[in-house]
């Protein structure tokens, strides 16, 4: 028999709900109940205090077995996450409110909660890494030919798919973006509007022989983000072309997103119009998007404002969409990747953003990266930003 779980209302809940629910569940447990038996009716959820029905029928026991409570909490969190899209921040609010109320009768609940939630996060990040590597798969072992997968038509021959992709990229379709390493075009493929990204071979030949293609990395990342309900482009397939055992080119096929603009373009237009409170709110929103990847154990190694698409009717209701997913990988805790992200972002935001705003943005990462408040960090980031800008100027001018 499936144990009942709290029923959340269809309306969006504020953060205070999870704190009140944690406190109410603690009272319920202290009076002899079990969290697994809780049914919270939707019409009582927004009452203050929250009412839990039916009342507990077991013997009153203010110090329940923590192993039982831990199992009940994990079951509750899993159900909320699956059925209602709750995320880790909401779980933390609920858990610590529950533990603070339990500590009124017995000490040690909050330290236990911190250790337990860290264990859950670590286990979740390990699962994400395993899932990513499973989706990525091994490098194709062949000298010549094609290796592909296309979700709408899994049985299509790889050589036929390559011919269609090559024709689409070489046709007069206007390119969305063009660089030395990749070309992005929109096209119609067997009656379906798609975006095709063709990757040039790695200039280092030894990597052509050993690396998994960027197209397949983009496919694995897009599938993983879709499973995690993180907005991004949705992959439809990939193709790899080998000659003499070397990866010569690869293609990543994704769906077309509705009209959006990059965060870089949006900031150039909107930043000067923002009030101080809107600038602070935007800073928190952008940092939360990055930390949301970190909580899943992921990091974007090319974190520029041009790799984030935004859409929203108002500044405070922006939706973010990740692109360039071949640079997304399980590497969130790397100090080198974090610092690289900082000077990538620093060089891609408008010059109008003052130094104080940049410092405040970086300081918000101090929980995971304590050195983010160090004075040397911003100096190093500014120096690296200037060097990257000069390198780009030299490349454009052919120096």
C-alpha span between 111 and 91 (Å, rounded): 16
pLDDT digits (tens, 9 = 90+) for 206-264: 777 777 889 999 999 999 998 888 888 899 999 998 888 888 889 999 988 888 888 88
Residue 299, strand partner residues: 329
Q: Tell me the per-residue pLDDT of 324-353, one tens digit each, with 9 for 90 and over.
A: 899 898 877 788 888 888 888 888 888 888
CB 217 within 8 A of CB 331: no
Judged against a pLDDT cut of 80, whether residue 81 lies above it is answered with no
Give yes or no for residue 399 having a pLDDT over 50.
Answer: no
Alpha carbon dihedral 335, 339, 342, 346, in 10-degree steps, equals: 180
**What is the pairing mode between strands 308-311 and 319-322?**
antiparallel
- Kindly tell me the sign of the dihedral angle through the C-alpha atoms of 71, 72, 77, 78: positive
| Domain chopping of the chain, boundaries | 15-135, 140-255, 261-397
> What are the beta bridge partners of residue 239?
148, 251
Q: Which residues contact 232 (CB under 8 A, 6 or more apart)?
A: 221, 222, 225, 226, 321, 322, 323, 325
Q: What is the mean pLDDT of residues 33-49?
A: 61
φ, ψ for residue 303, nearest 5 deg: -85, 85
Pick the CATH number of 140-255 from 3.90.950.10, 3.40.50.720, 3.60.15.10, 3.30.200.20: 3.30.200.20
Q: What is the pLDDT of residue 3?
A: 37
Tell me the fold of 261-397.
Answer: Transferase(Phosphotransferase); domain 1 (1.10.510)
Read off the pLDDT band of 397 (50, 70, 90): very low
């Amino acid at each position: 028999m499936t144990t009942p779980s709290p029923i959340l209302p269809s309306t969006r809940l504020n953060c205070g709900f999870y704190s009140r629910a944690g406190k109410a569940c603690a009272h319920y447990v202290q009076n002899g109940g079990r969290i697994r038996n809780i049914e919270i009716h939707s019409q009582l959820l927004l009452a203050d205090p929250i009412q839990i029905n039916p009342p507990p029928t077991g013997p009153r026991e203010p110090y329940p077995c923590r192993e039982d409570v831990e199992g009940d909490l994990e079951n509750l969190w899993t159900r909320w996450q699956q059925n209602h899209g709750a995320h880790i921040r909401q779980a933390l609010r609920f858990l610590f409110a529950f533990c603070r109320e339990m500590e009124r009768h017995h000490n040690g609940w909050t330290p236990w909660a911190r250790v337990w939630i860290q264990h859950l996060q670590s286990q979740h990040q390990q699962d994400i890494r395993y899932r990513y590597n499973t989706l990525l798969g091994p490098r194709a072992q062949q000298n010549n030919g094609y290796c592909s997968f296309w979700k709408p038509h899994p049985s299509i021959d790889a050589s036929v798919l390559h011919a269609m992709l090559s024709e689409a990229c070489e046709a007069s379709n206007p390119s969305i973006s063009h660089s030395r390493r990749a070309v992005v075009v929109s096209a119609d493929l067997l009656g379906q509007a798609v975006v095709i990204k063709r990757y040039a071979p790695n200039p280092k030949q030894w990597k052509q022989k050993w690396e998994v293609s960027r197209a397949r990395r983009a496919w694995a990342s897009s599938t993983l983000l879709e499973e995690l309900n993180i907005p991004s482009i949705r992959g439809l397939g990939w193709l790899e072309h080998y000659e003499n055992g070397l990866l010569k080119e690869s293609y990543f096929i994704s769906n077309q997103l509705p009209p959006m603009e990059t965060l870089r373009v949006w900031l150039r237009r909107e930043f000067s119009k923002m009030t101080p409170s809107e600038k602070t709110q935007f800073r928190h929103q952008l940092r939360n998007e990055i930390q949301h990847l970190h909580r899943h154990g992921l990091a974007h190694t090319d974190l520029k404002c041009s790799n984030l698409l935004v859409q929203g009717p108002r500044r405070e209701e922006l939706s973010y969409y990740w692109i360039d997913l071949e640079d997304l990988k399980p590497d969130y805790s790397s100090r080198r990747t974090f610092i690289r992200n900082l000077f990538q972002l620093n060089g891609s935001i408008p010059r109008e953003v003052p130094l104080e705003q940049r410092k405040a943005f970086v300081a918000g990462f101090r929980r995971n990266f304590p050195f983010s408040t160090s004075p040397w960090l911003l100096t190093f980031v500014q120096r690296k930003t200037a060097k990257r800008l000069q390198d780009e100027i030299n490349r454009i001018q052919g120096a």
